Each structure stands twice: as C-alpha cells, then as structure tokens.
A and B are shown apart, each in its own frame.
Chain A
Amino acid sequence: EAGVTQSPTHLIKTRGQQATLRCSPISGHTSVYWYQQALGLGLQFLLWYDEGEERNRGNFPPRFSGRQFPNYSSELNVNALELEDSALYLCASSLEGAGEKLFFGSGTQLSVL
C-alpha cells in the first residue's frame, strides 16, 4: 500500500514568488494535515482538511492557504514568499479527522532565496 506522497521533494523560490506543494494521502484516508518544520522551531501545525473542507488552521498568516480535492489530495499554497518560509513542509493523513494516528509523507523542502 502506498504511503503519503508529497511533491516536489525540493522547491527553490525567490522572495515574493508563490509556491504550491502537493500531497496525496493514503488511500481511504479523508483527512489531510499540513505542518511546517522550520529549523529550530519544531513542527508547527498549519492546516487540517477533512472531506474537502478546512477544519482548522494554525497561527499562520492568510498567505498560507490550501485546498482539498474530491479525491482527498491536497495543495498547500504559499503566496508572497518570505525568507523565513524556508522549511520542510510535511503532509500527513489519517482515517478520520479526530484522533486517528497520523501517517506522514517525506515532505517538501522549500528554500526561499
């Protein structure tokens, strides 16, 4: 069974540009979570999607947004990139939105120059 897949693996952008990160959950999982893992800051919760709707978001500015498609895959968009957006972005999926174990993808390493 395929795990959570993320693309691209690496992404290099310059300040002010937009970045789009993609995530495919494990088959049958309806919930997708996005986390930011910046150097020295640990894992910070970004967004939670379930059944196509945004259920919750962390303390990030509105330029961080996303969506979940009918097939439960998800996109994370970051507009007006800033240097401090450089981080590993991890996507995770679970069977339900409430309490099921999360399965993480390998992440997208975003570098903003």
Chain B
Amino acid sequence: AQRVTQPEKLLSVFKGAPVELKCNYSYSGSPELFWYVQYSRQRLQLLLRHISRESIKGFTADLNKGETSFHLKKPFAQEEDSAMYYCALPFGGFKTIFGAGTRLFVKA
C-alpha cells in the first residue's frame, strides 16, 4: 500500500543552521514526490517536486530510491522558513496522499 511517513512532528533549528526534514515513502511503482508548505494563515502550496530537480527558496530534495526517501534540505535556515511542511506522493494518475507533516521552527 502507498504510504508517506514524516517521522518528526516538530523540528526546531537556529537561524543559519542546516535543516533536513525527513520523508520516507512506500510505493511499488516509480514515485514522483512533492513537498508542500503551509505558512501561517496561508493556504497549502507546492514547494517543489522531485521531477523538476529545482531549488526553491534554497530548499532541495533528492529522491533516494534505495532508501525510499525524499528528504527536504536547506543549508542555512531563515526565520521565514518557519512553517508546516508536507511530503506528498501522487499515484494512480489522480490520487495524492500526504504525510502527517513536520512543523519547522527557526529560532532567531
């Protein structure tokens, strides 16, 4: 069965420190994974998708099929990165399942 696991509910780092938000997935096919972000009082929105291999707001994510992971990384966290982050797995052409989310708190 398809599953997305984000093991950390809360991640707290200091400004300027590296940050890694973990995501592991379970999927029998070839996965296409996304990271969504929800800033305070804003709607859920796409941050990045692995297929485009892009860096958005300094964040990158590499798909590791051997470890079935898609961790989100940023070398130097900023206060405005504080938000809820959700890893998502679209499958079956139309469906998308979300992880439980990780709240990132960047301290000054």
B partners with A: no
Q: Which residues of B contact A (CB under 8 A)?
A: none
Q: Which residues of A contact B (CB under 8 A)?
A: none
